[in-house]
Structure 1
Amino acid sequence: MLTDKQLIEIGALQTLCETGSNFELKLNWDMLKNREDSESNDFFHYDNGVLVGFLGLYGFGNKVEICGMVHPQFRRKGIFTKLLSKAIEVCIERQYDEILLNAPANSETAKKLLQLITCNYAFTEYQMKWHETEIIEDKDVGIRPSISAADLQLEIQLDVSCFGFSEEEAIDYNNRIRSEGDQQFNIIEFAGEAVGKIRISHEENNTWIYGFAILPEYQGNGIGRKALKKIVLEEHKKGNNIFLEVEATNDLALRLYESCGFQSFHAQDYYRYTKIQQ
């Protein structure tokens, strides 16, 4: 678990690294604030007591994402390389199937650094914000809280069928995210059947949408679009800003979100680390 002092130091370093740039680092603050004592996921480099380098691991089932940063005045000193080397050792020890390096799409510094690492471009993830547009709520789709063992089993099934988790990984993942902060877990219903899930996180007046999935046999019927519109309407009535993330490789999902009024405002590039065996 990270201390309050460490969280403040990470936040200060992030602010410094982003100042004067046109990008944002993706440090998954919801996960940083809820680290487990049993795992080492964060790596620090100090200079005279000041944090000048940080790298975090973010596990999602059988894959892990890595994001790091170095104080602008301490770059080209091998700090990030040392942090990454330690992190890769941990990833290999935990036997992740996929290791993804995350970097802001607009960061030239990150692109130059990635040229020195054994990795290949995988995909781009877009952060999207909803811009007010007319939405007509459809009554065919319902959304309710996830409360029962059967609901949890459906969420596990959806992570397996839609996100490539193994069942064991999906169980561990769902148990972990339920201990992370203020989140709402919801079940999507259609024609009286539970067919999907959607998770919501709130921070002040901002709403983030995560883990949005529909069972494969129900996809292609407009259920996802109707469910998303329903959530947007509810959060908009509360006066909240509404955000989500989507991978560019999923063109159907991208068009779905755009048709509901979402527009991209930041992009994160992901690179697949290829030197797994050491």
Structure 2
Amino acid sequence: MLRARTHLTPDDLSAVADLERRVVAHDGGRLKIEWEDLRARASDPGDGPTTDLLWTTPDGRADGYVGFDSWDGRTVELVGMVDPDARGRGIGAALLGAAVQVCRDRGFAQALLIVPRPSEAGHHLARRLGAPLEHSEHALRLDTPPPPAEEDPRTTLRAATTTDLDVLAELLTAAFGQAPTHLAASFAAGDTLAVEHDGAVVGTLRRPRDGSSGGIYGFAVAPEFQGRGIGRDVLRRVSRAFFDEGATSVRLEVAVGNDRALGLYTSVGFRRVQTEDYYDLPL
């Protein structure tokens, strides 16, 4: 049965986590499920828009799932999965059809379906819906602390504040084409950092922690300060801090074709665990 959720109950979280374990055990790789966001939804009163779709059996087991994640209020990313033993029953098509309608109802301008490269069924479903490939990303993971290296004392990291809003928005727009609409709100969580070099803000990143895994997102260095070793220095510091805090891995994503960034990450020890294709669903 298809169920739309405006918030997630503890039972929902458990059912999605069990489904993820079954899917990854069968397919390998990983699924880009933002568990930090899902757990936040569990504390939401549930009077907002649909954030998750579940396909459940009468006993509460989840055989399918689609979640919605938007960082800028305009584009939404969709991640979905179907239990290996329940595939071929039309569950994926039903979930995705409902997801497209949710995206329309919520007024998103673009919906990107994330499909792991090895998922033949996912690619087939995206093509059947007439969704062109928009871009692809490598998912990278670091499982051991990077080796010690000399830190540049001119480069410092600190929590971003609202006074940094304009410069960080400019940095993110230069790096990614646009800045998130909720950038200021992200400062409250304390995981958005400003990178200073000789007292000037030259970079930024977000470093959320999800259980035993750390994440690095929105990592940008001003173009005029690139090539000076600042990015590598910051990446090492942030990664080592995660491990010092008890994390067992650090994750990030990089666009396929961005060889410069990929070279930076692999030089610190990150390795590719999966490539993911982003399909532009017609809304």
Q: TM-score range by the shorter chain?
A: 0.7 to 0.9
Among residues 175, 184, 191, which one is paired with 2:191 in the alignment? 184
8 Å CA contact 1:135–1:260 kept in 2: the answer is no
CA distance in 1, matches of 2:169, 2:70: 16
**RMSD (Å) for aligned C-alpha atoms:** 2.4
2:270 aligned with 1:259? no
Q: What is the aligned partner in structure 2 of residue 156 from structure 1?
A: 169
After superposition, the Cα gap between the structure-2 partners of 1:218 and 1:98, relative to the gap in structure 1 and judged at 3 Å, is farther
Q: What is the aligned partner in structure 1 of residue 3 from structure 2?
A: none
CA drift at 1:178: 5.2
After superposition, the Cα gap between the structure-2 partners of 1:121 and 1:33, relative to the gap in structure 1 and judged at 3 Å, is same
Q: What is the aligned partner in structure 2 of residue 208 from structure 1?
A: 215
2:51 aligned with 1:41? yes
Provide the TM-score with structure 1 as the length reference: 0.85
Q: Which residues of structure 2 form unaligned runs of 5+?
A: 1-6
Helix, strand or coil: the match of 1:39?
A: coil
Q: What is the aligned partner in structure 1 of residue 113 from structure 2?
A: 101
Equivalent pairs, count: 268
Q: Give the 5 Å matches for 1:1-278.
A: 1-35=7-41, 37=46, 38-50=48-60, 51-61=62-72, 62-130=74-142, 131-136=144-149, 137-146=151-160, 148-165=161-178, 170-175=180-185, 177=186, 184-238=191-245, 240=247, 241-273=249-281, 275-276=282-283
CA distance in 2, matches of 1:4, 1:20: 25
The one-letter code of the counterpart of 1:14 is E
CA drift at 1:118: 1.1
String of CA shifts for 1:30-57, please: whole Å, max 9, x gaps: 2211235322121122232432221111
After superposition, the Cα gap between the structure-2 partners of 1:40 and 1:178, relative to the gap in structure 1 and judged at 3 Å, is farther
String of CA shifts for 1:46-69, please: whole Å, max 9, x gaps: 232432221111112121111111
8 Å CA contact 1:104–1:269 kept in 2: the answer is yes
8 Å CA contact 2:172–2:178 kept in 1: the answer is yes
Tell which deviates more after alignment, 240-249 or 7-16: 240-249
CA drift at 1:123: 2.7
Percent of residue pairs identical: 29
CA distance in 1, matches of 2:104, 2:235: 37
String of CA shifts for 1:169-228, please: whole Å, max 9, x gaps: x333542x4577xx6221100111011112212234432212211234433433222221
Q: Which residues of structure 1 form unaligned runs of 5+?
A: none
